[in-house]
Chains A and B, each alone.
Chain A
Amino acid sequence: MELKLISTSDIAVFVDGLLKAGKVVVAPVLKQSGKVFFKPVQSFSEVATDYIQTAFSAKEVVFPKVEELFTYQHNEEGGLDIKDQLDRIPETVVWGLRPCDAAGFDYLNKFFLQENPDVYFKARYDKLTLVTISCSKCDESCFCTSVDSHPGDTKGSDILLTAMEGKYYVEVITEKGYSLITSNSTLFTSTDTLSKESFLAKPATQFSMDEIKDRIQNAYASAEWKHASMGCYSCGACAFACPTCTCFDIQDEGTQDHGRRVRCWDACGLSQFTKHASGHNPRNTQTERRRQRLMHKFKYSVENLGVVSCVGCGRCIRVCPSHLNIFENILSVTK
């Protein structure tokens, strides 16, 4: 790990430099609705800074809401021309992630790159550098400290910045991060280890994963699930806003002559998600669907991939039309 400093005023120079070098920079942008989203920017002046959390996560950069897997076209010889985007992914930098989001990318990595790696994810992830900024403030929906993380966590990031007086403390964690710094190295000076503690937010800790890992073993049969899911409207907002939800649907769109195959987001909360071709739906009520979502995040991911897939960003709580609270639910079903 390399440790550097950069003055606050030089941040804009650095980011604009990345843009000039031809990289795609994806950063938080404030939209007219008052919500902040990750979008490609053309200059640092577009980047939003005064917000707690973006509405949606940055997972779109590696897992777009609509992804063309390939297009097909009948050609004159009677064969098919199949084209994909895999060799056209640009060098991309995501700027302004939160540590919880970076932990989300860490999970996505573990999920998509197993024995048969997802080539679409891999193509995008290989060209991606993640620059995270530690959290100096939080709200009552944030609970990263309950899920094995904290506001200054480096997990999943290539570079972690922490804002201090007049400057940013720069922890360069990976090779990718290092090559980004060296692209404009005159802006950075070396430093010894500094303490981040006083500059970090202090979200309330609701539970520890050590406790939950034990108690959740018996949670499936809990009578509390019905109450925990009563307010659920059965939409996909929580899944789509979540940095680690990866469920998708694959559809073919087109005619016999030409068309495309797309991958698009899907959500386990939607009522037809598990409907079989026979018409039987094993998760026919919202109670069962919500139970599945929470058990997946806090038990099945831990068992299958060794890591809890909830990162405590609180987006699900904020976007939910009834603000269903995931950590309150986990506490009540594991009592």
Chain B
Amino acid sequence: MAETFEPKIVAFVCNWCTYAGADLAGTSRTKYETNVRIIRFPCTGRIDFMLLIKAFQNGADGIIVSGCHPNDCHYTSGNFHARRRWMVFKSMLEFMGFPTERITFSWVSAAEGKKWADLVNETTDSVRALGSFTDYKNLDFSQFNQMDHEAIAR
């Protein structure tokens, strides 16, 4: 009996808002999908765009990036820098043909436990529908390496 595909979602969240919001979802005993692994950052401004690519490279099928609402950043302006960075990075990825629908960006505050749960549910559903991210996993074909013999004969 084949296993049904369950996506792996990695969430990059800021400590002061989204992480606290996720905590609130937990203490409120809100049930939501369990596919997400959370990585806690002090601020979304700390999130290097390379980390998102690394997550995909290590087997993630989808990503959530979330932080404080604009004007509410614990460090005043970290999320403003992050927002600019995400705008540019997203359009860069789209230009390279990367499926940016696998990445969800959001603002979730410490009081929005329900929003967090809904966000995770929505993202899990949409990534499940998109399927496993094989395009990226199949990128590592290197000419003249015999680990993938079929590729040589292609």
Binding site for B on A (CB under 8 A): 24, 39-40, 60-61, 64-68, 71, 85, 88-90
Contact = CB atoms under 8 A, between A and B. Distances in A.
B143 A60 contact: yes
Contacts of B149: 88, 90
B147 A71 contact: yes
Interface string B125-153: 00000000000000000111111010011
Given A68-B145, A85-B146, 9 more contacts: A24-B153, A39-B143, A40-B153, A61-B144, A64-B144, A65-B142, A66-B142, A85-B145, A90-B149
A68 B146 CA distance: 9
A95 B111 CA distance: 68
- Contact-residue bracket for chain B: under 10
Contacts of A60: 143-144
B53 to A, nearest CB: 15
Contacts of B143: 39-40, 60, 64
Contacts of A61: 144
B147 A85 contact: yes
Interface of B: 142-147, 149, 152-153
Nearest to A60: B144
A120 to B, nearest CB: 11
Query: 8 tightest CB-CB pairs across the interface, nearest first?
Result: A64-B144, A85-B146, A88-B146, A66-B142, A60-B144, A68-B145, A68-B147, A40-B152
B131 to A, nearest CB: 23
A17 B114 CA distance: 67
A71 B153 CA distance: 22
Contacts of A39: 143
B143 to A, nearest CB: 7
A308 to B, nearest CB: 27
B104 to A, nearest CB: 26
A253 B110 CA distance: 38
Contacts of B144: 60-61, 64, 67
Contacts of B147: 68, 71, 85
B142 A64 contact: yes
Most chain-A CB neighbours within 10 Å: which of B143, B144, B149, B153?
B144
Nearest to B145: A68
Nearest to B151: A40
A24 B143 CA distance: 12
Contacts of A24: 152-153
5 contacts: A66-B142, A67-B145, A68-B142, A68-B145, A71-B147
Which of A60, A68, A89 has the most chain B CB within a 10 Å cutoff? A68
A89 B145 CA distance: 8
A332 to B, nearest CB: 38
Contacts of A68: 142, 145, 147
B153 to A, nearest CB: 8
A209 to B, nearest CB: 32
A241 to B, nearest CB: 16
Nearest to B142: A66
